[in-house]
Amino acid sequence: MTARFARDGYLVFPNFASTDAMTRLRARAAEIVGAFDPASGSGIFTTRGQAARSDEYFLESAECVRCFFEEEAFDERGALRVAKDRAINKIGHAMHDLDPTFREFSHDHRLGEIAEAIGLAQPLLYQSMYIFKQPQIGGEVKWHQDASFFVTDPPSVAAFWFALERADRDNGCLWVQRGGHRTPLRERFAVRDGRAALERIDATPWPTLAAATPVEVEAGTLVVFDGMLPHYSAPNRSANSRQAYTLHAVGARARYAPENWLQRRSVPLRGFA
């Protein structure tokens, strides 16, 4: 397992999550969306100062549980063109610590064992996301490396991505650059003066889809990948959603950059145990 992770930058664990566990996560995610008032959201219905307001809404989500819309969910006048439960792109970013259902799923000793096996010492769970990849309007996730969002010295972030529904080329599965975790960090997402931005730090190109590997998996599969691994997912134009839950863990001994967007100031960080 360790040799394969070192070679490819990712591992696939079929049947990791039970049907019951996935049903609980999906039901809880639906409840969170049901309770979400779009008008209280990211300022998306206004124009003046919208960028600053949506930055604030996003940055605050480091320590709470918030819903974010799909970009294509709105018409030109800013009205929702689909029902709310078909309009949410994701929920983030601290439900693994704040929500009992997600907490129970996320703090699993099996994940701690995998972290240890891939060389992630003293993992701390910084982030959780529930990704809907909605039918027809599920947005593209451009090529990126998760280490851009979790800069540590030395690099340490690893991703734990759980398919809650079958993911395939039709509904926007993950694509990876196999072995690409040995390529440089191309971008860095930093917060400077309260504004978050992606900065290019290396000119190495992103892979073409022809050179990439689709990770088509059944519901219940866990995909673990190195934070340096370039990955991508296409827009979902199919009639089926492609729901997934992800966790990002960072080594406690590595220095965590103060410019990283996700800073824990009041909610304590925990490991998998």
Ligand X SMILES: O=C(O)CCC(=O)C(=O)O
Residues that bind ligand X (CB under 6 A): 129, 131, 133, 141, 146, 159, 161, 174, 231, 233, 244, 246
Distance between alpha carbon 266 and the CA centroid of its chain, in Å?
Answer: 22
**Which residue number is nearest to ligand X in terms of Cβ?**
233
The nearer residue to ligand X, 29 or 174, going by C-beta atoms, is: 174
List the one residue out of 166, 126, 105, 95 whose CA is nearest residue 250. 126
99 vs 146, beta carbon nearer ligand X: 146
Is residue 250 within 8 Å of 153, Cβ to Cβ?
no
Q: What is the dihedral of CA 162, 267, 147, 153, to 10 degrees?
A: -140
Which C-beta is closer to ligand X: that of 44 or that of 234? 234
Minimum distance, C-beta of residue 104 to ligand X, in the bound complex (Å): 21
The answer to whether the beta carbons of residues 95 and 64 sit under 8 Å apart is no
* Least separation in angstroms between CB 163 and ligand X: 9
Min separation Cβ 232 and ligand X, Å: 7
For ligand X, which is the closer residue by CB, 191 or 217?
Answer: 217
> Judged by CB, which is closer to ligand X: 53, or 178?
178
Q: Which is nearer to ligand X, 68 or 161 (CB)?
A: 161
Residue 140 CB, shortest distance to ligand X, in Å, is 9
CA distance 249 to 157: 6
Least CB distance to ligand X at residue 242 (A): 7
**In the chain, which residue ranges form alpha helices assigned H by DSSP?**
2-8, 19-35, 50-60, 95-98, 100-106, 109-117
Q: Are 172 and 182 in contact (CB under 8 A)?
A: no
First to last CA, the chain: 21
How far is Cα of residue 130 from the mean position of the Cα atoms in its chain? 7
* Least distance between ligand X and beta carbon 39 (Å): 27
Contact between 95 and 65 under an 8 Å Cβ cutoff? The reply is yes
